[in-house]
Amino acid sequence: MKKEVGTIKEGLAKEISKLDVLISNNPDIDLLYKRAQLLIQSGNNAKAINDFTRILKLDPKQRYAKAQLEYLTTIIRYNNTDIYASTNTNFDPWME
């Protein structure tokens, strides 16, 4: 089982590095979407956020990119919440 997971992660890393080269030559929205999805699968949500932000800079009308950006931001915000530093664990804007 561990071998399979390692092989999958290696495959994702190879695909991401291929897309890195293609995107550096031509920042295409479709390539950015593909890389963002692979980054999400590999657990690298922060870099996926960067790709979705870049997609929105290229075309602000991309609704899926906007939705994914909000979704991933919420996940990161939730995962990084320090419950001892703030009593606002429900993200109530009136408490901040």
Model confidence over 33-91: pLDDT tens digits? 999 999 999 999 999 999 999 999 999 999 999 999 999 998 888 777 666 666 665 66
What structural domains does the chain harbor? 8-71 (1.25.40)
- Is the overall model pTM greater than 0.85, yes or no? no
Per-residue confidence (pLDDT) for residue 7, from 0 to 100: 78
pLDDT in tens, 1-31: 556 656 778 889 999 999 999 999 988 999 9
C-alpha to C-alpha distances, 62 to 11, 13, 33, 76, nearest whole angstrom = 28, 26, 11, 21
Could you tell me if 56 and 25 are in contact, meaning their C-beta atoms sit under 8 angstroms apart?
no
Give buried/exposed letters for 11-34 (b at 16+ CB in 10 A, else e). Answer: ebeeebeebeeebeeeeeeebbbb
